[in-house]
Amino acid sequence: MASPFQRQALNRKLTYAGLILVLFTVAYLWRTREFSVFGYEVKGVDAQASALAIREQSRGDVDLIGAIARLTTIGSRGAATCVLWMNAVDAQKRNQWNELDMYVLSLVKLQPHFITPWIFQSWNMSYNVSVESDRASDKYFYIARGIQLLADGERRNRDNPDMRWSIGFFTQHKIGQSDDTNILRSLFQLSMIRPNERDPARFWTLKDGRQEINWNELEDFCKNHPQLVRRLREGMRRERASDQLRQFRCERPDDLIQYLEDNFRVPSLYVDTVASAAGTWKPKEDAYKDGVTDRFPVLPPKHEAHAKQQPRDESALTDEKKLYDEHDVYHVSHAWFGYAQEPLPEPDKLPGSSKPIEDHVHQRTNGHMMTVIFRTFPAQALRFSSERLQDEGWFDASGWEIPDWFRDNGGFADNKPAIVGAGRDWGLKSWQRALEAWKSFGNANHFLLSPQEMKIQTDRSNALSAKYNLNAASMPPALREENLDAETREQIFAFQFLRDLKQHAQLCNFDFHYNHALIESEPDTLKCRKTIFEAFDALRLRNDELGSLQKFQESTGLQAWRDKVLLRNKVFRRDSLVQEHTFELQLRYINLFSRLGGSAFKAKAAGLLLPPLETPLGAGACPVGLSLWVPPLLEKDWDNPLLGGIFDVNDEEGVPLVSDTARTQLLQRLFPAVYTGKPSGEQPKQPGAPPAQP
């Protein structure tokens, strides 16, 4: 029989066990159930934590290994973070890139919700580490690695506009706008193509024991990827001949196949496979990589916008959509820029303003720049994509004929010219989409007003200015709102509205961007752009000066650029970049004409100086008129460009199409040694030194 002390101990244990069971039951119900207290509905702890997004699952994807690493540090996480950061810096100095990658991954696992290390280390790898490599493929690898790192951080920190914007900007800037843009854009497109489709063994066939090009497979590849093939074949248009020659190009079909072989293991959307041996290639489907952030290019997830967030652009790319040849780096950036807009509060009633944050769980403001500028990036990305198509020669549905490659094979298999990319209005569709983006931005931020709305706001603002003796630079009068009548409130709002409209529209340069997209989306502009591009290509690719001159003189050439584009749009022609581009066209045309039509220039000048020689009375001194022995190179209604350029005219307001400032800036950029008084790269003189002689 148990002693009294044993019975007391047993009773205490049972009591403690019962209390523990009761407390656990109450705690479980408190966490998971909703209940009423004095008539008030109280949510459980789990529901409140989820609503406030303070649980690990609510903040983003959970990393089990990182959570274990943070728990094992037991209060020394700060010291471990500092040590890892210093080791990462030291590894970068020693060019130990694998060790740097390991330290960075360990660093972000210890502090996954601290945004700065994610952005900084991603920028560090994409910009600083990538430029240490000599080969373009190695640069591309580290650019992709840095962007993938930041995409992993964005998945663990939802609703952060700065991280989403940084992914889009790093992708756009490092791949679409770098010094090695031609080859990096091509590598970017290889990342979107299935490995089996670009397998170099696909393009070889064995015949009598020798390797020969499989023309049918090469033809199919060119038809499916016309933009990639054209960029590799012709390169991109450069301003200087030296830059043009330094570009990587595939002159022959063998060069294209070798390029695909050299870059077969490029960062990709698909699982890495091994290239087949020649003669053993078979078509098959490739599987996507399991980890979304392991894929490249990285795309945002399909996401349902919250009630207080801005609606998502349904045409934007997501990680569930397939990528094709027409998708470029700017489309990927546009997807991330649009995704970055969703956490922002909606625009307010005044131009460029935002509503206060109401949903503190999902809404956040961006940093590092004004919000109204932040909102322009989706439209800017579509504008860059449209300009990229123009730079690479994609204007209309006529397509591009591949030179030389299929000539020995009689063109394509159907005996038709080797034309790819036909049947789609590339430039028109792209600029129309950019125009819709700018229009949507202008409407949402109150930059686009109808004439009636503008008149109403102007009249109200003028009435307030007359009442309180205000000018355009004045601040609205400080009046107590409760003491104002409805009319005065409307006048104050109109005054502030017009003031903010001018300030923020100028800050975003909205008028130019909107008009730029509007003019570029017109068929006449695209025809002019195409003709001028072909004139440049005649020199760039074929060294055909006469063909280039004739292209400039076509009805859709320089004269149409003046009459149908510049003279029809004031905002467009007054932009300094447009004027510099226009003056550069004139200089290049005059240079061509002076080399090919020098005799015509002499005849024209002599005809002006010695008009009697052109009359019958002067026929004895000059039996044949000067204008008869020179074949005219210009159309009859054109003046001699050496005696007056086609753009040396004024618009209907008497303002020159090309200002003196634009002329001077272009000449200083093209000929620094002549128009700055010193050779290019020469250091400026010290104070007191005599000026340099031009």
Show the 3-state SS of 189-217. HHHHCCCCCCCHHHHEEEECCEEEECHHH
Cβ 192 vs Cβ 323: under 8 Å: yes
Cα→Cα distances 291→125, 152, 270, 524, Å: 20, 10, 10, 47
Query: How remote is the C-alpha of 443 from its chain's centroid?
Result: 22
pLDDT for position 415 = 78
Identify the burial level of 347 via C-beta atoms within 10 angstroms of its C-beta, where 0-12 means exposed, 13-18 middle and 19 or more buried: buried
CA distance 229 to 198: 12
Cα→Cα distances 34→29, 42, 157, Å: 8, 6, 28
Cα→Cα distances 274→152, 265, 483, Å: 27, 9, 78
What single DSSP character describes residue 589?
A: H
CA distance 298 to 290: 13
**Could you tell me where the beta strands, DSSP code E, fall in 253-301?**
none
Residue ranges for the chain with pLDDT beneath 70: 1, 37-39, 239-244, 303-313, 407-410, 597-644, 675-694
Cis ω on the peptide bond leading into residue 297 (within 30° of 0)? yes
Cα→Cα distances 469→20, 125, 416, 430, 477, Å: 77, 57, 75, 48, 10
pLDDT for position 3 = 83
pLDDT for position 371 = 95
**Could you tell me where the beta strands, DSSP code E, fall in 328-470?**
400-401, 419-420
Of 171, 149, 167, whose CA–CA distance to 104 is shortest?
A: 149
Helices within 325-425 (DSSP H only): 329-341, 371-374, 377-391
CA distance 558 to 647: 9
pLDDT for position 219 = 93
CA distance 422 to 400: 7
CB atoms within 10 A of CB 404: 11
Cβ 308 vs Cβ 356: under 8 Å: no
pTM for the complete prediction?
0.86
For 462, residues 6+ apart whose C-beta sits below 8 A from its C-beta are: none
